[in-house]
Structure 1
């Protein structure tokens, strides 16, 4: 009996450990939705999703896609995240994978599509849908071509010839961007390539056609796996908005505009508060994400101090002002790139150029807009009441002395004090400051006013 009592706890411990081990080995797959325009928010969701999938030891990541595209810079970031992932990544195109969506799909290990879905049309366009110049197309062509090449190739012997067979044909990927590409039996010149689900399957850009994501999960050998779906938090959405390049440009405009308006008005008021709030909204999400370091924010603050010293303390505009402006631009720009302290080896040159363009254009537009608003609203209109619009000149009656003094010229009176040469006189029972024009005048002597200037009368002695 004693032996059973001793063995029972040990047996329970073994059973508990077995359950814990089985639970740790349980299959988990992770699902991330891309069902909106690809922007900063999409990138943050994907980045957070991959981080969570890694923490869960997920067996695979599935991207559930339905998008018409979006911003190339964020599509490129997502593409890079997928290509560098040690976890297999599959994409299920529910309806559309256009433009930037096509680039992301090509990066995935396997592509699955719903009947009626499409993939392609990756030409770079502006916000109005107009095709951008060839330098943008060239970058996109190379990006999507290298993405296709990253999946590798096979060397096939056909008769006496050696044929290279790509798993994802780079020429097909390039034809999704460039209408000048001609591929016999697939696309003619003058047209940008877009595949239907069946066409993608026929030409190696789709591994299967299914009705829903659940079927894709079963097809890829994860039928019994637990499906965990990424659910963005409120902060994820807010961070996506605050890290948008468009908002960064607007915040830079508000920082510069607020400082400019503050310099145009006395004291500390609303414009400076706007500038400070814009600076906080600019740096806070970047600091939390680890992009903006302490020294980068410090550079920005030192730059502002140098500009203030140049304006308020140092006469003219020279080294301090120019250095301050450069430090402000540098602090704002470096906060947008993922450098490690002073190590810039991992920073893409194009990323640094984009950051500089956002900051410089934001500063330029902020300064230009501030000058225009100052002339428009502070020069006339309702807001003109907030500032003094008229000049206080003599013609409008603004003088620093009593105009009645002009009427004293020619009048006579008596010196009430000794004039050496200044003193006091009385004229028509009123006392005035006076100055003698002909030397010493004793008290009680008769005087006559010959002129007045700046609130003082000039007199001479009379008989």
Structure 2
């Protein structure tokens, strides 16, 4: 009986050792894969389509649980309104955003510099550059001229990289440009202070249009990383801690899957129609289509296509910085050219319309941002095409007026008719397939051939052209 407790103690010991050994031998549970990283590509000039593309990318990243959004940029700049919309979306995004200027050879100029400063992480590929963030004055010079010195000495020349101010008309253009410059400086300074980046160089990029290479930007604290491609960047920022909306977030980006945000058909369509050249062409096609429809009611195709093109063109123009004086000149020019076709004025209206159209097209887009101008070659080609259409239609109208009338009631006089019925005072005759009432000083008979020699309203005056044949009288 004394051995029984000893045996039980050994059994319990062996059981505990077995359990502990089995637990130690079991493989550890596999770690969960890192959340994906969403990549949104920004190429070319930044406009309404770019802003919509970025907004959708941030929305999809939040919906799909992405841990990071990477904006891969190669842009010369763009519209101020679209840039600010992108920055607002970045600042409001619960998913951190990293801006990456790449691949090698890319740039983030003007609006791209502001977006990079607004991002939580800033990185560049070797061989890239950023900067030249001086705002382009709408409809004027990129930078206002400095005020004259009080001592009477001439003002210093503009800083390197800034364009010479063009002559301007209107009230206080220098004050207006200075306000725009001060606003841009304050905006980029606030972004630099928010992200802890080089504030002095940010102001220099705006005031002096300064630029930096990737290595220089890293050395001066403008960016945090230089990486040759996206996988290298994700490996470098792995483990980085970020403060997002008051909460601390640690990135686990090493080996994370890259999900590229592709623009859908609506963004592609928006990118096409918001090109100023395309918008101008759509407007012209729309107006000419409606003109041909009104000139030939029932054709349908010109009216339908013209209405669609005109609405698309107007929608695109309301998204762009349009000079409404230019738009009015274009509309006036097209109206003059249409009036030249309807009532030829020996070229006065047509020539005036072409001049108004060219002037309006030149000043239509109220900005000098790269990628948002209308090429002069396109304006000249459209003016020549419009002139050819006006001249061709006018020549056709003049030739048609010189021809003899071959249809309508004006051609009834002088034609032969056949008597259909004979009444007491009037008869019914058939002329060119039409039934008319007729009167004659001589008695008429059914089937007789008569000549129309006059008309009184809806009554024709006729006379026999040949004596009544016996066979006709018998019938």
Question: Normalising to structure 1: TM-score of the pair?
Answer: 0.53
Q: Which residue of 2 aligns with 1:274?
A: 305
CA contact 1:92–1:111 (8 Å) conserved in 2: yes
* Distance across 1 between alignment mates of 2:213 and 2:321: 40
CA contact 1:378–1:386 (8 Å) conserved in 2: no
CA contact 2:188–2:203 (8 Å) conserved in 1: no
Q: How does 1:96-245 map to 2 (within 5 A)?
A: 96-124=107-135, 131=142, 135=176, 138-139=179-180, 142-143=183-184, 145-152=186-193, 167-179=196-208, 192-221=209-238, 222-224=252-254, 226-233=256-263, 235=265, 238-242=268-272, 244=274
Q: What stretches of structure 2 of length at least 5 have no aligned partner?
A: 1-28, 145-173, 239-251, 342-386, 416-423, 427-438, 463-475
* Distance across 1 between alignment mates of 2:398 and 2:137: 42
Q: How does 1:269-418 map to 2 (within 5 A)?
A: 269-278=300-309, 357=322, 365-366=330-331, 368-369=333-334, 371-372=336-337, 375=341, 376=387, 380-381=391-392, 389-390=400-401, 400=411, 402=413
* Distance across 1 between alignment mates of 2:281 and 2:178: 27
* Distance across 2 between alignment mates of 1:259 and 1:279: 9
Q: Tell me how far 1:360 sits from its aligned partner.
A: 8.2
Q: Tell me how far 1:93 sits from its aligned partner.
A: 1.9
Q: Tell me how far 1:108 sits from its aligned partner.
A: 1.1
CA contact 2:98–2:119 (8 Å) conserved in 1: yes
Question: Can you list the C-alpha shifts for 1:88-121, whole angstroms capped at 9, x where unaligned?
Answer: 2112222411122212212112212233321101
Distance 1:236 1:424, change over 3 A: closer
Greater relative CO, 1 or 2 (CA 8 Å, sep 6+): 2
Pair 1:48 & 2:56 matched: yes
CA contact 1:69–1:99 (8 Å) conserved in 2: yes
Q: Tell me how far 1:378 sits from its aligned partner.
A: 5.9
* Distance across 1 between alignment mates of 2:449 and 2:219: 112
* Distance across 2 between alignment mates of 1:101 and 1:65: 7
Pair 1:78 & 2:86 matched: yes
Q: Tell me how far 1:194 sits from its aligned partner.
A: 0.8
Q: Tell me how far 1:399 sits from its aligned partner.
A: 6.0
CA contact 2:96–2:120 (8 Å) conserved in 1: yes
Runs of 4+, deviation exceeding 6 Å: 126-130, 429-434, 452-455
Alignment partner of 2:127: what SS? coil
Question: Can you list the C-alpha shifts for 1:141-166, whole angstroms capped at 9, x where unaligned?
Answer: 5246314313536xxxxxxxxxxxx9
CA contact 2:43–2:73 (8 Å) conserved in 1: yes
Question: Normalising to structure 2: TM-score of the pair?
Answer: 0.52
Count of aligned positions: 316
Distance 1:100 1:81, change over 3 A: same
CA contact 1:62–1:92 (8 Å) conserved in 2: yes
Distance 1:108 1:418, change over 3 A: closer
Distance 1:144 1:116, change over 3 A: farther
Alignment partner of 2:257: what SS? strand
Distance 1:115 1:228, change over 3 A: closer
CA contact 2:192–2:202 (8 Å) conserved in 1: no
* Distance across 2 between alignment mates of 1:67 and 1:208: 19
* Distance across 1 between alignment mates of 2:59 and 2:78: 23
